[in-house]
Amino acid sequence: MISLRNHVKNGKMHYVVFCFVFLCGMATSLAIYLEERKHVYSDQKAVGEHFTEKLNDSLTQYITGVSIAAALIESSKGEVTAGYFSRFAQRVITTQGINLYFAQYVPASKKSEYEMQKRILLGNYNFRIYPDGDRSEYMPLTLGYPDKFTYGYDILSSQYRNLSSVIQARNSSSVTLSEPTFSPFSDASLSAEADTFIIRKPIYLSVDARSYKLTDDIGFHGIIGAFFKVDSLFKEVNSLVRHDFYYRLADVSSDSMLWFVDTAEPSSWEGVNFDTHYLSIAGRKWRIDTRYTENIMTRIHWFLVIAPLFVFGFFALFLAYYSRKLSLTYFSMLDSINKRIEIDELTGLLSRYQIQLELNELIVSCQEKDKQLAALILDLDHFKTINDAFGHELGDKLLVNVSKRLASILQGKRTNII
């Protein structure tokens, strides 16, 4: 039989209940934490994608402006004046910090005629193509917006630092975007920071238009270009994104990666999670890395993560207390029942069931040890007559007195197996 003492000593069910419920709380908190972290990473990636999208939109807008200006030059029946070009560009170019220019192709045979024409149109009788020197063809700056250019500078001159890019753009049939470079018409030294992009579009005229405009043999009429500072571009993009995050960009169009923007210290990218995006536009491919300025862990809603621990912890304590109390009550009742089965409630002697149980155990033990067992059975004669004559209450008192008498006789003695 199970006793209360043994249960209190060995029963650990309330601990099991507490641990199980609390572990459920820990599992819930862990699941919420993982979901929160996934959500933050997803938000960070979405911000990077949004930034890349807005950057692409801004560059596309610049390219569209260059293409529209090129269409103006192509469709014009006569020479486009500087004033008209400025007013047109002002309507097309709505972004601050972008400069637009047109460099016209001039063959050597038409150089003097071109210079005379521009002196009249510009009202500048000192206009000439420079740097000086005889070349087979020229491409002097003819139009510009804002009107801050020194007209006549030949970008086909060997002295022009971006000559190779101009030749590449001329041979291209589409818009091209340069790698980070220097301002095309400044005197910046090579030690200065390359902080400028140049968009170029070649203009090729139809056969009909070549009769009244200067072109080469295949109809090349000149290049429309636009250049802008890196800071101007990203200032515009940042105003559209409006998030606190770091970003860095590299030109990966060639085998060598060229980093040209980094809003954080190099160490800020080490050992942290950041997202990488790629942007392809106008013949260039950019790599864009983005991440929140804050650590990912600081953006997690920790209250949502920790709350289940408190809720399940309180619930676990309540269930552990309740289960322990219920267990004690149950085993107390069970022990009481066991005692009623083992001990006769009236006399305090062993019950018939317990005597039979112990007798069976003794018989088995004697058989195993090759010993003998003696059992003395006492019977009260005419006990039924006493009950009938004097009542069960007196019969019970008789049994109690007999049991006390037997207990006093056998007290401190032990039955021996013979």
> Which pLDDT score is estimated for 333?
77
Tokens of 92: 């097309």
* 400 and 321 co-located in one domain: no
Last residue of a domain, one of 287, 308, 335: 335
CA dist., res. 276 & res. 13, Å (int): 53
| 263 falls within a domain | yes
Q: What's the pLDDT band for 412 if we cut at 50, 70, 90?
A: low
What is the pTM for the complete model shown?
0.71
* 163 and 53 co-located in one domain: yes
* 77 and 37 co-located in one domain: yes
Closest CA to 145 of 183, 93, 99, 185: 99
Q: pLDDT tens digits, residue range 263-280?
A: 888 888 988 889 999 999
Q: Is the pLDDT of residue 123 over 90?
A: no
| 5 falls within a domain | no
- Taking only Cα atoms into account, the Rg of the chain, rounded to an integer number of angstroms, comes to 51
* 100 and 216 co-located in one domain: yes
Give the domain range for residue 45.
10-335
| 4 falls within a domain | no
Q: Mean pLDDT of all residues in the chain?
A: 84
* 250 and 377 co-located in one domain: no
pLDDT more than 70, % of the chain: 90
Q: pLDDT tens digits, residue range 52-86?
A: 999 999 999 999 999 999 999 998 888 888 889 98
- How far apart are the two ends of the chain, measured CA to CA in Å? 29
Closest CA to 102 of 86, 120, 123: 86
**How many separate domains does the chain show?**
2
Q: Domain holding 304: CATH number?
A: 3.30.450.350
| 179 falls within a domain | yes
Please count the other Cβ atoms lying within 10 Å of the Cβ belonging to residue 231: 12
Question: 365-404 burial by CB neighbour count: b if 16+ within 10 A, else e?
Answer: eeeeeeeeeeeeeeeeeeeeebeeeeeeeebeeebeeeee
Helix (H, G, I), strand (E, B), or coil: what is residue 385? helix
| 123 falls within a domain | yes
